[in-house]
A and B are shown apart, each in its own frame.
Chain A
Amino acid sequence: GIQVEQSPPDLILQEGANSTLRCNFSDSVNNLQWFHQNPWGQLINLFYIPSGTKQNGRLSATTVATERYSLLYISSSQTTDSGVYFCAVPSNTGKLIFGQGTTLQVKP
């Protein structure tokens, strides 16, 4: 089945710094989602991005489907950006396959 790998596994930043999170997947996909898991466990939708680039405030994402990767950019990071970031892609049966996540800690 399709494999999803995220890097780096852990990231520590000072407030105000920029960061790039990467998601690699092993097969062609029909969509890709980025999530932020808040401290209470809920997965918050960030982007639904099968290809191209999208921006939402300080966050943007780019998926290059032909090269099987996606990038999540966080600019001017804030302490509230801390948490775990997941990317997920659907298998051929539609279930989401998640990466292991990137744990981000933003220090004040």
Chain B
Amino acid sequence: EPEVTQTPSHQVTQMGQEVILRCVPISNHLYFYWYRQILGQKVEFLVSFYNNEISEKSEIFDDQFSVERPDGSNFTLKIRSTKLEDSAMYFCASSPDRATDTQYFGPGTRLTVL
């Protein structure tokens, strides 16, 4: 069964550094998403991406964040100048259509900012 994959599974970085979290969505999907889950808190929507551009973003997704689909398979989340409070699980998801019953989540990348 096709699945969303994410790398790395755990990323440790120093405060102020830039990190890139990588996702490979399911190959025939058209919509891509990033979510964040701070330990013990709820899953928070960050951004959705379609047709090589951001379709929606939350207030969390400020200038510190950017997303890119650099090739036909990868979908990346870049976090510039990381802060301690950026430590969280970051989930990528993809779906063939908007808001359907087929949004598939990856296993997540745990980001730890020291």
Answer whether A and B are interacting partners. no
Residues in A lying within 8 Å of B, measured CB to CB: none
